Amino acid sequence: MKRLVVFDFDWSLIDQNSDVWIIEQLSPIIAEQINELKEKYQWTDLMNYLVGEIYKQGITKQQFEQAFAAIPFKPEMIEALKMIKSANGDIIILSDANTVYIEAILKAYEVSDLISNIISNPAAWDEDGRLHIRRLNNIPHGCENPCSENICKGHELIKFLSAHPNEYYQIIYVGDSFNDFCPATKMSSNDILLAREGFKLASFLNDTLPPSHEYKNMNRRISPRIIYWKDAGRILEFINDIFDKSK
């Protein structure tokens, strides 16, 4: 049996929000519409609409790929991935971004072969070079946790583990946002949740949300041990420590 390390993507594995950052690089004018339009669109639907608007501006797939290669991806995080893999750990990505962005960024930084599986919103280029992004889930999942409408990460984690019975003795989950809480409710006391300091998940777990916040009074009790991390250097330090001890 092995360890399974699950990474959220935006602000966890990479040091940016890929949805927003890519649009900002390709079309600052279109990026200015995000705050207004996010009140009218479901987020994944909004991203699909905006990449369509970028296509209309004549932005090419090659320009997208140039942006993918420039997004902040810390060397320490890449080193942590290599260390996990060399210690026979499995790595999956569980993200509300999309498969094209994730796969292209991993390829640009030459770490694709370190990742066993990617669970995210499906995306694809059409023959005209327009990117299409779809919701992973179009059916209401009814989860009581603060999950995104299009993806319940807790359900996706359970589905993945059910397809890999008795393969993993410990789960390590790296996340930063509200939708990373649900998978933590599916983990055991033997598992570890790595929550990024200064982001929504840590605020939720530490009960420091504003009194008026919709999740303020939710039950935040979970079984896994919680470790807070600030940057990629801390992740590398943790991975080095825990995988070294298991040798």
Is 176 annotated for ligand binding? yes
For residue 212, CA distances in Å to 40, 121, 180 come to: 22, 31, 21
How does strand 123-125 pair with strand 2-7?
unpaired
How many CA atoms lie less than 13 Å away from 23 in the CB half-sphere?
Answer: 21
Is 128 annotated for ligand binding? no
Active-site positions read: 8, 10
Is 231 annotated for ligand binding? no
Three-class SS of residue 213? coil
CA distance 38 to 27: 17
Q: Residue 247 has what DSSP assignment?
A: -
CB contact at 8 A, 173 and 187? yes
DSSP character string of 51-112: HHHHHHTT--HHHHHHHHTTS---HHHHHHHHHHHHTT-EEEEEEEEEHHHHHHHHHHTT-G
**CB proximity list for 232: less than 8 A, separation 6 or greater:** 15, 74, 75, 76, 77, 80
How many CA atoms lie less than 13 Å away from 171 in the CB half-sphere?
Answer: 25
Pick out the residues of the known binding site for Mg(2+): 8, 10, 176
The binding site for substrate consists of 19, 96
